[in-house]
Amino acid sequence: VEPVAGNMNCIPPLPEFLPTLRSVCDTYGTLLIFDEVMTGFRVHPNCAQTLYDVAPDITVLGKIIGGGLPVGAFGGSTDLMERLAPSGDIYQAGTLSGNPIAMACGLATLEILSSPGFHRDLATSTTRLVNGIQRIARECQIPVSTNHVTGMFGIFFTDIKTITNFKQVTSCNIARWNQFFNGMIDAGIYLAPSPFEVGFISSSHDSDTIDTTLSAVRNVFGSL
């Protein structure tokens, strides 16, 4: 499970959702696997599992740990990982496993991500962006809802105040999203090309970038 859903836009978990999964898995002796390809190190220095205080049995990570290079990783409890070769009899390998270039970039990326205040600043930028979008939407009388968690955000054209599930996402105004997306492209702002894809803020998106984006949002909303 993605602790914060990113493939139906940005859907943070309800407070009881992840603890309930942990409890059910424990009851039935089932492994709880967190897909942190999107959330890993993006929402918290120690990933979403620390942000929400729910420990999975296995964690899967992706290219974020390589600064964008093709790399993936998984980890878990000592009991599980010791079952893998060479300690155990489960063989796991890949052509690019431990690739030196990807590992060097990964270490450099993790050093940056662990710097003091990194995630605080990331959250501040994201909050400023989504609050600005909400403010402009109200001024333009366009029904818009937003979700965000640290560096992840989602924009929904809907009257629903808080989007919490896929059914609500599919009920949003997709045609208006498409108009918004194309308008932002024309303004030089490149968003994820689908209303079902999450958006990301990075450390490269400084205050001027947020201002430029909000200016484009105002112009596009004014034309919808």
The domain made up of 17-113 has a fold known as Aspartate Aminotransferase; domain 2 (3.40.640)
- Residue 85 has a pLDDT of 85
Neighbours of 94 (CB within 10 A): 8
- Going from N- to C-terminal start, the domains of the chain cover 17-113, 118-223
Q: What is the DSSP letter of 14?
A: P
- Residue 63 has a pLDDT of 83
Backbone angles phi, psi at 203, to 5 degrees: -70, -15
Average pLDDT along the chain, 224 residues, taken 10 residues at a time:
96 97 98 96 94 96 85 91 90 84 90 93 97 97 97 97 96 96 96 93 94 97 92
- Residue 94 has a pLDDT of 81
Structure tokens at 192: 């994820």
| Predicted TM-score of the model (pTM) | 0.89
- Residue 69 has a pLDDT of 85
- Residue 4 has a pLDDT of 98
| CATH code of the domain occupying 118-223 | 3.90.1150.10
- Residue 173 has a pLDDT of 96
* Segment 1-12, tens digit of pLDDT: 999 999 999 999
Taking each helix axis from N to C end, the angle separating 174-186 and 207-223, rounded to the nearest 10 degrees, works out to 120
* Segment 88-119, tens digit of pLDDT: 989 888 887 888 998 899 899 999 999 999 99
